[in-house]
Amino acid sequence: MAEQVAADFSLIALSAVHRVGDLALGEIAVIVAVASAHRQEAFAASRRLIDDLKHEVPIWKHQRFTDGEVEWVGTC
Protein backbone atom coordinates (compact mmCIF):
# COMPACT_ATOMS: atom_id res chain seq x y z
CA MET A 1 0.00 0.00 0.00
CA ALA A 2 2.79 2.41 0.85
CA GLU A 3 4.43 1.78 -2.52
CA GLN A 4 1.17 2.50 -4.34
CA VAL A 5 0.58 5.74 -2.44
CA ALA A 6 4.19 6.79 -3.06
CA ALA A 7 3.71 6.12 -6.77
CA ASP A 8 0.50 8.18 -6.87
CA PHE A 9 2.02 11.26 -5.20
CA SER A 10 5.23 13.22 -5.66
CA LEU A 11 6.89 12.27 -2.37
CA ILE A 12 10.38 12.35 -0.94
CA ALA A 13 9.69 9.63 1.65
CA LEU A 14 6.79 7.70 3.17
CA SER A 15 6.55 5.32 6.13
CA ALA A 16 3.85 3.66 8.22
CA VAL A 17 3.97 1.54 11.36
CA HIS A 18 1.05 -0.22 13.06
CA ARG A 19 1.56 -1.52 16.57
CA VAL A 20 0.70 -5.06 17.55
CA GLY A 21 -0.17 -6.26 21.02
CA ASP A 22 -1.84 -4.74 24.05
CA LEU A 23 -2.36 -0.99 24.02
CA ALA A 24 -3.59 1.15 26.88
CA LEU A 25 -6.25 3.78 26.26
CA GLY A 26 -4.75 6.74 24.48
CA GLU A 27 -1.65 4.92 23.23
CA ILE A 28 -0.72 5.41 19.60
CA ALA A 29 -1.65 2.46 17.38
CA VAL A 30 -0.55 3.69 13.97
CA ILE A 31 1.89 6.30 12.69
CA VAL A 32 2.12 7.56 9.12
CA ALA A 33 4.95 9.88 8.10
CA VAL A 34 5.28 11.55 4.71
CA ALA A 35 7.87 13.96 3.31
CA SER A 36 7.07 16.07 0.28
CA ALA A 37 8.14 19.37 -1.23
CA HIS A 38 4.61 20.68 -0.65
CA ARG A 39 2.60 20.16 2.53
CA GLN A 40 -0.75 19.72 0.74
CA GLU A 41 0.66 16.73 -1.12
CA ALA A 42 2.06 15.31 2.13
CA PHE A 43 -1.30 15.74 3.87
CA ALA A 44 -3.16 14.11 0.97
CA ALA A 45 -0.75 11.17 0.82
CA SER A 46 -0.93 10.69 4.60
CA ARG A 47 -4.72 10.67 4.55
CA ARG A 48 -4.77 8.25 1.61
CA LEU A 49 -2.34 5.84 3.27
CA ILE A 50 -4.16 5.76 6.63
CA ASP A 51 -7.52 5.37 4.86
CA ASP A 52 -6.14 2.53 2.72
CA LEU A 53 -4.65 0.82 5.79
CA LYS A 54 -7.92 1.01 7.70
CA HIS A 55 -9.88 -0.26 4.70
CA GLU A 56 -7.59 -3.02 3.44
CA VAL A 57 -5.56 -4.41 6.33
CA PRO A 58 -7.35 -6.94 8.56
CA ILE A 59 -6.87 -5.34 11.98
CA TRP A 60 -8.75 -6.95 14.83
CA LYS A 61 -9.21 -5.44 18.25
CA HIS A 62 -10.02 -7.40 21.39
CA GLN A 63 -11.54 -4.78 23.66
CA ARG A 64 -11.88 -5.29 27.40
CA PHE A 65 -14.24 -3.08 29.39
CA THR A 66 -14.15 -2.17 33.09
CA ASP A 67 -17.44 -4.03 33.68
CA GLY A 68 -15.79 -7.30 32.58
CA GLU A 69 -17.38 -7.38 29.13
CA VAL A 70 -15.19 -8.11 26.10
CA GLU A 71 -15.73 -7.78 22.36
CA TRP A 72 -13.83 -8.37 19.16
CA VAL A 73 -13.96 -5.58 16.58
CA GLY A 74 -13.12 -6.00 12.90
CA THR A 75 -13.55 -9.77 12.69
CA CYS A 76 -16.50 -9.72 10.29
Q: How many residues are given for the chain?
A: 76
**74 has pLDDT over 80:** no
Report the SS3 class of residue 36: coil
Question: Which residues have C-beta within 8 Å of that of residue 15, sequence separation ≥ 6?
Answer: 2, 31, 32, 33, 34
Say whether pLDDT at 9 is over 70.
yes
Using pLDDT thresholds of 50, 70 and 90, give the confidence band for residue 37: very high
Give me the pLDDT at residue 75, please: 64
Is the pLDDT reported for residue 30 higher than 70?
yes
Which CATH number fits the domain that encloses residue 35? 3.90.1170.40
The pLDDT of residue 53: 87
Q: Please state, in angstroms and rounded to a whole number, the distance separating the CA atoms of residues 19 and 64.
A: 18
Which residue segment(s) compose the domain that 48 sits in?
A: 2-73
Domain count, the chain: 1
